[in-house]
Amino acid sequence: MLIVAVDVMSGDREPRERVAGVLRVLRLDGDLRALLVGKPAEIAPGLERLPDALRERVEIVPASQVIAMGEAPRTAVRRGRDSSMRVALNLVKEGRAAACVSAGNTGALTAISHFVLKTVESVERAAIMSAVPSSRGHTHMLDLGANTGATPLQLYQFACMGSIVARDLYGIEAPRVALLNIGEEDIKGHEVVQAAHALLGDGGVRYVGFVEGDGIFSGEVDVVVTDGFTGNVALKTMEGLARLIARRTRREFQSSVRGAIAGWIARPVLRRLAEGLDPRQYNGACMVGLRGVVVKSHGHADATAFARAVELAAHAARGELTSHIAQAFGA
Amino acid sequence: MLIVAVDVMSGDREPRERVAGVLRVLRLDGDLRALLVGKPAEIAPGLERLPDALRERVEIVPASQVIAMGEAPRTAVRRGRDSSMRVALNLVKEGRAAACVSAGNTGALTAISHFVLKTVESVERAAIMSAVPSSRGHTHMLDLGANTGATPLQLYQFACMGSIVARDLYGIEAPRVALLNIGEEDIKGHEVVQAAHALLGDGGVRYVGFVEGDGIFSGEVDVVVTDGFTGNVALKTMEGLARLIARRTRREFQSSVRGAIAGWIARPVLRRLAEGLDPRQYNGACMVGLRGVVVKSHGHADATAFARAVELAAHAARGELTSHIAQAFGA
């Protein structure tokens, strides 16, 4: 039985939304237990009237504090000792849970994860990694914002870790790894990407060179590596544009009788399109490089989206992500 | 009569594609003349059989070299003295043309523009600025890749210049300017955005703080400022995602009889949607901060897209972009 610790308090929505997401996963995955971390009074109502077989696989672990979405990472580490986030990470550290999920403040989650779990030996910094849609399925990207920058060595390490995750969690045999840059030619980009390019050229991963932003979606690479600033901007840009297009599509189909008729006939088609681009389907990003599995959920996640993050945590723990990375880094 | 110098040789497509784009603009804008810079033998065939009134407004200015798309900026400056790009920029410098357009290598265009025209006094670096779609029209973004990074002072200067362009070329009275970051809270981001945030807080522009990537499309800001690396990645990411969505939409509408019928009825709706997101409609980016108007076209631009870039150059020259920026910077 796999045990996942879930910080159900942190995030933009009510805790019950995340509790509902966890329960959804538990119903589908009979081999999973969840430790719901937070204020019992806010969690317990969501667990009423559950069938015994399900109720037995859920346990509330009390934590009195909640780290605010805007709280500075340093303060979060210093003052949030009994926060749901910290307690959930402690459960992983103590071996009581195999993975942890939180929809909280990214900066705080990164700082507390590094502080509580530490990185795998010789890994300098953990990175946030997630799948984004591409023309042939998915591309895996990191770092999506665990850090505000990256050194060449860190980019190299992200590439190695990303390659392991793509192989071991997503079954891509020899993942093609690329560095995000502002041109594909060897001479392009700033000093940091240039130095990382040189490091990656020396081997260790199947490095295919630079890609530009549009290369993320081409299906020609499996793992795209970048620093956390650029990666986070790219990810949020995708989310914003996808939402803009969805809104415009709705508006155009509603703007005329002809559009409305076409929209009615095209409903299944439009629904499939919307689902394929629904950011909720992509919710959940692994924080790779830590001594333990940590999954970051989008702060806005509803039950559907949060369930995805919980599934990802279980998948990563079962795939023994942490020990595979540790082996690769010779720890 | 406004005169625009056009480097018709540089770009991924044949010169005749860009010549056709120029002619399209000249037909609509009777007050415009074009100097087509490049190899006469490759340009002349595109000018045959033109009505006299149009032919009189076109002149070929010979240039024997073409800067390759992959050429390093430094080599381009040193060796491309008779290149179409350099000659076109010289025409602006000598006052023979009011603006210049090129679909060539961004790095070379940036380097040669800085070398030939120089920046406006006290402007450290020029930036590439363009409009992208938003939920309420457009957002203006810079730097989209003239530089591989930016100092806090440069970001501050980009904000000032972007504000002037949004006001004087796009009629936005008091443009709301934001800095692109990986969080909206004051404490977020790396040292450079933090320092730029402090500079912008001291005034000069209507600064509204940080936005994340999705904020580009919200319609709540008019000008988004970032360094050239991040900006270029964000722009290319948008292009790639828009193309992916367009491809998927076509595929879904073709995948079933129901979809095909709906697609047929929805044709005008789908066409409007596609046009609103067509990157060709957004082609042309001003290089702001130089002593002269320089417009960068996408390398892949076809006649339709290239025409947009030529129109933008004429619009920027008529709006006296350069002198407005020079005034603002006290030059």
Q: Return the number of CB contacts < 8 Å for A and B.
A: 180
Determine the 3-state secondary structure of B253 from DSSP: helix
Q: Are residues A98 and A149 located together in one domain of the fold?
A: no
pLDDT of res. A331: 61
Using H for helix, E for strand and C for coil, what is the string for chain A? CEEEEEECCCCCCCHHHHHHHHHHHHHHCCCEEEEEEECHHHHHHHHCCCCHHHHCCEEEEECCECCCCCCCHHHHHHHCCCEHHHHHHHHHHCCCCCEEEECCCHHHHHHHHHHHCCECCCCCCCEEEEEEEECCEEEEEECCCCCCCCCHHHHHHHHHHHHHHHHHCCCCCCCEEEEECCCCCCCCCCHHHHHHHHHHHCCCCEEEEEECHHHHHCCCCCEEECCHHHHHHHHHHHHHHHHHHHHHHHHHHHCCHHHHHHHHHCHHHHHHHHHHHCHHHHCCEEEECECCEEEECCCCCCHHHHHHHHHHHHHHHHCCHHHHHHHHCCC
The answer to whether residues A73 and A111 touch, using CB atoms and an 8 Å cutoff, is: yes
Instruction: Give the pLDDT confidence of A189-231 residue by residue, as tens digits.
Output: 899 999 999 999 988 899 999 999 999 999 999 999 999 999 9
Out of A281, A303, A320, pick the residue that ends a domain. Answer: A281
Who's near B188: CB < 8 A, 6+ residues apart? A107, B181, B182, B210
Q: Are residues B273 and B301 located together in one domain of the fold?
A: no
Chain A CB within 8 Å of residue B72 CB: yes
Provide φ and ψ at A50, rounded to 5°. -85, 150
Q: Are residues B66 and B151 located together in one domain of the fold?
A: no
Mean pLDDT, residues A60-68 = 96
Instruction: Give the pLDDT confidence of B74-124 residue by residue, as tens digits.
Output: 899 998 899 999 999 999 999 999 999 999 999 999 999 999 999 999 999
Say which amino acid occupies B3. I
What is the Cα–Cα distance from A292 to A95, expressed in whole angstroms?
9
What is the Cα–Cα distance from A294 to A188, expressed in whole angstroms?
34
Q: Which of residues 186-215 of B touch A (CB under 8 A)?
A: 187-190, 212-215
Q: Are residues A134 and A145 located together in one domain of the fold?
A: yes
What is the Cα–Cα distance from A320 to B311, expressed in whole angstroms?
57
Per DSSP, the residues of B15-66 read HHHHHHHHHHHHHH-TTEEEEEEE-HHHHGGGGTT--HHHHTTEEEEE--B-
Among the residue ranges A139-153, A170-184, B117-131, B260-274, the one predicted with the least confidence is B260-274
pLDDT of res. A70: 84
Q: Which domain holds residue B264?
A: 125-282
Both tokens of A270, joined, read: 């439009």
Q: Are residues A111 and A219 located together in one domain of the fold?
A: no
Residue A167, pLDDT > 90, answer yes
Q: Are residues B315 and B260 located together in one domain of the fold?
A: no
Instruction: Give the pLDDT confidence of B11-24 residue by residue, as tens digits.
Output: 999 999 999 999 99
Chain B CB within 8 Å of residue A219 CB: no
Test B235 with A253 for CB contact under 8 angstroms. no
Q: At B53, which CATH number?
A: 3.40.718.10
**For residue A197, how many other CB atoms are within 10 A of its CB?**
20
Best residue in B245, B258, B281 for a mutation probing chain A (most A CBs within 10 Å): B245
- pLDDT category at B267 given cuts 50, 70, 90 is confident
B126 secondary structure, DSSP code: -
Domain total of chain A: 2
Test B253 with A266 for CB contact under 8 angstroms. yes
Q: Are residues B119 and B133 located together in one domain of the fold?
A: no
Return the ∠ at Cα A283 (arms to A47 and A220), rounded to 5°.
Answer: 155
Chain B CB within 8 Å of residue A68 CB: no
Instruction: Give the pLDDT confidence of A110-133 residue by residue, as tens digits.
Output: 999 999 999 999 999 999 999 999
Q: Are residues A219 and A81 located together in one domain of the fold?
A: no
Checking ipTM against 0.85, whether it exceeds it is yes
Chain B CB within 8 Å of residue A182 CB: yes
Chain B CB within 8 Å of residue A277 CB: yes
Q: Which of B187, B241, B247 sits opposite A241 (nearest CB)?
A: B241
Chain B CB within 8 Å of residue A235 CB: yes
Q: Which of B237, B258, B261 sits opposite A237 (nearest CB)?
A: B237
Test A263 with B266 for CB contact under 8 angstroms. yes
What is the Cα–Cα distance from B112 to B85, expressed in whole angstroms?
8
Best residue in A229, A232, A253, A277 for a mutation probing chain B (most B CBs within 10 Å): A229
Q: Are residues A257 and A322 located together in one domain of the fold?
A: no
Instruction: Give the pLDDT confidence of A236-285 residue by residue, as tens digits.
Output: 999 999 989 888 888 888 878 877 887 788 787 778 777 777 777 778 99
Best residue in B269, B282, B296 for a mutation probing chain A (most A CBs within 10 Å): B269
Q: Which of residues 13-32 of A touch B (CB under 8 A)?
A: none
What is the Cα–Cα distance from A156 to B250, expressed in whole angstroms?
38
Q: Are residues A276 and A331 located together in one domain of the fold?
A: no
DSSP E strand boundaries for chain B: 2-7, 32-38, 58-62, 99-102, 127-134, 137-142, 176-180, 206-211, 223-225, 285-288, 293-296
Residue B275, pLDDT > 70, answer yes
Q: Are residues B95 and B140 located together in one domain of the fold?
A: no
Best residue in A236, A255, A273 for a mutation probing chain B (most B CBs within 10 Å): A236
Q: Are residues B22 and B79 located together in one domain of the fold?
A: yes
Q: Which residue has the tokens 């942190």?
A: A10
